[in-house]
Structure 1
Amino acid sequence: MSHSTPDAGEVLLTKADIVRRHQVSLRTVNRWIHDGKLRAYRVGNGVRIRPADLAEFITPIGGDS
């Protein structure tokens, strides 16, 4: 996974964004973050995810990859 910190102007996703876009539960997103599968950043009191880190996390299954 990418280990660079987010740039100042970079648009970051919330956990709720990921829940809505990928139809998974908040518990699942929290587990991915806790298990180190999805890199997240603390921003104030919230948690944010870089779109690049999410894209890296999502991988195709089988087929032409």
Structure 2
Amino acid sequence: MAKAEGVAQDVRQLIDTRLDTADADDYRLLAELLVQLNDTQALLALAERAKLNNDPDIQEVGQDFSS
């Protein structure tokens, strides 16, 4: 596995564990990190998860980073 892919996988795992207790600011920062890493697949997954959240501020993050 290439070093960059290994880092991306570590970041995805960290994000998955962090989202359970994340607020809207956390979601936005994590989404911005995924943009910087050019990890479109993980970004879209985060956006979908955000849109399903009960918090309207988190849902907004999902809308902002969809598509």
TM (norm. structure 2) is 0.28
Q: Which has the larger radius of gyration?
A: 1
Q: Which has the higher helix share?
A: 2
TM (norm. structure 1) is 0.29
